[in-house]
Structures are given as C-alpha cells and as structure tokens.
Amino acid sequence: IFIQHRWHDRFASAFPINIFRNRIYSTAVVNTLLNGFPYLLLIYAIPLRFQVVSGKSALISGVMLLPMLGTAAIGSLLAGKINATKNYTFESLVLGSSVMTIGCGLLTSLSHEPNDAKLLGYMTFCGLGFGLTVASSTMLSTVEVPIRDYAPAQGILSQVRLLGGSLGIAASSALLNEKSSKYLSGVLTAYEQATIGGSNTHLTNAQWSAVRYTYADAFQVEMKIATVVAACSVISAFGAFRKRRLLIAEQRKIIVREEEARRRAQTAQVV
C-alpha cells in the first residue's frame, strides 16, 4: 500500500498495454503490420527479379529501387502537408493502403519475360502508398497516445513494420525455394542453384531460360500474396474512422492538458 501510494504513476512501462485500448492507435498498429509485409517483400524481391530475369548486375538491380523509395518519401511529405492543419489521417490511411494494393495488383500482371518499364512504373504506386500510410500512422500515434507513452508507441509502430516485412521476406524465400524445387531440381545441380547470379555461374541458354521462368513465376505468386495482404490493410484502415474529429492542433492541445493535469496530480501526491 505504501509503495502504491508513494510511487503510483512514477514508472513508465517500456511496453504500455493501455495504449492498445485506444481503437485508433490499435488500427494504426495493425495497418502498419500489414503494409510492412508487401513493402519489405518488394525491397527483397524486386532486385532479385531485375538481376535474374532481366540480367542486370547486382548494383543496377539495387539502384532500380530508387523510384519506389523516392515515391515513398513523396507520400510521407504529402501526408504531412495534408494533415498539417486539417485532420485527414483516416482518409490518408485508407488512400495509402488502397494505392499499395493497386500497385501490388498491377505487379501480378507482369509476364515471365523481362519488362522493366512496367515494373518500374507499377512499383511507384507501392512506394507512394507506403509513404502515405507511414506518415499517417505516425501522426495518429502523436495525437491518440498520452505524451508519456510517445516513445514506446513510436517504437511499437517501427517494430511491427519490421515484423510484417520479415514475414514478407520469409514468405518470398519459401515460395522461391518451392518453385526452385519444382522447376529446377532436374535442370540444375545444387551447386548451380546456389551460385545463380554469381560470377561462378556458367549455365547454358536452356538452363538460364528455366531459371528466369522460375524466378518470374515465384515473383508473380509473391505479388498475389502481397496484394491480398495489402487489401487486408485497406479493410483494417477503416478502424481509424471517427465521426467527430478535431483538428490535429486541437487534439495535441488536449493531450498536453492531460499530461499537465497528470503531472500536477503527481506533484500533489508528493507534497
């Protein structure tokens, strides 16, 4: 009883469960998890497709990600600008998730042949959608979570984004291994499969054709899965809807007043 009386509200937990009682913040966490899945999957799978299917070098394959990374930055800037005064975080979250879904859906239409122009164009939709959702989720957490929980709230968003991305990369690797076992087991040796794309790769034209088909087919299936997950993120975004919404500045003032009241109460207990 003495400890409860003297130390109540003086310790801040590293993982505050109470913030998940806020429906809006919980929605942002779920949406972040679901959008992290396709985005990091793309960062892993796109250079692999450029390198194997299109025959690009490892360096150029990595550089090819720049359009998606650039539009992700643009999406974040747009979300920040849109929500600077008005509160359109819900709309930004739904729009970003929808654009991500459209981008992944378009990527499923790529054939098994090299088609770099379409790939570069389609993946910009994914980058734009991801940027919109990242900025919107971050802004939601700053106006829905108590000030004392800002740091863990932002940390949770970052970690669930990485968790979703890790699941996406794991799914991509598993699918590629499954396709390789299906199409390449009788065409390439284990050593040849392990050195695909490396300097020690010496394959015939027929073998390269089989490898390109395998990687392109795996990419197509991966994009179908990414589209389904991104579509789930659109559905989850509707959990952030609120009929009566205050301006971002007004919500921040309320959060500040609540923190001031908490600290005054804490000081009064000490006295």
Phi–psi pair at 138, nearest 5 degrees: -65, -45
pLDDT at residue 193 in the model = 73
Q: What is the mean pLDDT of residues 67-76?
A: 96
pLDDT at residue 102 in the model = 97
How do residues 201-249 score in pLDDT, each as one tens digit?
677 788 888 888 999 999 999 999 999 999 999 999 999 888 887 777 7
CB-based burial label for 191 (10 Å; 0-12, 13-18, 19+): exposed
pLDDT at residue 245 in the model = 79
CB-based burial label for 192 (10 Å; 0-12, 13-18, 19+): middle
Inter-residue contact 116 to 50 (CB < 8 Å): yes
How do residues 88-114 score in pLDDT, each as one tens digit?
889 999 999 999 999 999 999 998 888
CA-to-CA distance for 144 and 138, rounded, in angstroms? Answer: 10
Dihedral (CA of 206, 212, 216, 222) sign:
positive
Q: Which CATH architecture has domain 16-245?
A: Up-down Bundle (1.20)
Amino acid at 212: R
Residue extents of the structural domains in the chain: 16-245
How do residues 17-36 score in pLDDT, each as one tens digit?
888 888 999 999 999 999 99
CA-to-CA distance for 15 and 146, rounded, in angstroms? Answer: 13
Question: Is residue 6 scored above 60 in pLDDT?
Answer: no
As a whole number, the mean pLDDT across the chain is 86
How do residues 115-167 score in pLDDT, each as one tens digit?
899 999 999 999 999 999 999 999 888 888 887 888 888 999 999 999 999 99
Q: What is the mean pLDDT of residues 44-63?
A: 91
CA-to-CA distance for 268 and 263, rounded, in angstroms? Answer: 9
More confident residue, 188 or 60: 60
Question: Is residue 1 scored above 60 in pLDDT?
Answer: no
CB-based burial label for 199 (10 Å; 0-12, 13-18, 19+): exposed
Name the residue with tokens 């005054």: 264
pLDDT at residue 200 in the model = 63
Dihedral (CA of 195, 36, 46, 226) sign:
positive
**Of the candidates 231, 241, 224, which has an alpha carbon nearest to the alpha carbon of residue 35?**
231
Tokens of 167: 């699941």
Question: Is residue 9 scored above 70 in pLDDT?
Answer: no
- Listed in sequence order, the residues at least 6 apart from 123 whose beta carbon sits closer than 8 Å to its beta carbon are 42, 46, 67, 68, 103, 107
Q: How confident is the model at residue 263 (pLDDT cuts 50, 70, 90)?
A: low
CA-to-CA distance for 74 and 93, rounded, in angstroms? Answer: 15
For residue 56, CA distances in Å to 20, 131, 138 come to 45, 27, 36
